[in-house]
Amino acid sequence: ITNLLAGTGIATLFVDLKLCIVRFTPITTNIINLINSDIGRPVSDLVYNLVSYHNLSTDIQTVLDTLIPKEFQVQTLAGVWYTLRIQPYRTIENVVEGAVLTFVDTSEAMNAKLALEEYEKHLNQVIENTGVFIFNQDQDLRYTWVHNSQMFFKNKAVIGKSDADLLSKDDAKMLNVIKS
């Protein structure tokens, strides 16, 4: 089992019901300062390399008390993002003997999410400072998103409607010819 866990490349930490370390995979040492002699020590004694996350012992105890798994996004001091999952550790007989913590590297996805949020922030600034009517329509030419900095109409009044719903028949027909 130890070789299997080490081969997955997923940082894994097992603790008993007293929150003492039972075993861990080698890659876990990148996240938590662990050495083999830490086996048997309480998790609360450990130094972990996580930014702004200081509830490890409390969260493990909550999972053991409620048997409801928890999941968090955490970041190491080196800037690596992980999904931390804390789950009860059950034996084959379905007896809870502790908790298992896994750290799955999600840096690529988190960095993409953060870049997208930054892009959206800049795009929204451009849209807010642009004096034009900007919109998106679906395949049926119904408005799905509208920005009208001149506020000729309420945006909510347009969403879900087509040009035929909003304009005279002739104007809607002409506009659809132009869009084609």
Chain segment 74-96, per-residue pLDDT in tens:
999 999 999 999 999 998 898 99
Contact 35, 24 (CB under 8 A): no
Q: Render 138-175 in DSSP notation, one character per residue.
A: -TT-BEEEEEETT-SS-GGGTTT-BHHHHS-HHHHHHH
Contact 101, 60 (CB under 8 A): yes
DSSP label at residue 26: G
Task: Name the burial class of residue 79, with classes exposed (0-12), middle (13-18) and buried (19+) by CB atoms within 10 angstroms of its CB.
Answer: exposed
Q: State the pLDDT confidence band at 179, using cuts at 50, 70 and 90.
A: low
Q: State the pLDDT confidence band at 164, using cuts at 50, 70 and 90.
A: confident
Q: State the pLDDT confidence band at 8, using cuts at 50, 70 and 90.
A: low
Q: What average pLDDT does the segment 51-63 reach?
A: 93
Q: What is the pLDDT of residue 88?
A: 97
Q: What average pLDDT does the segment 33-51 reach?
A: 90
Tell if the pTM clears 0.75, that is, is over it: no
pLDDT at 104 over 60: yes
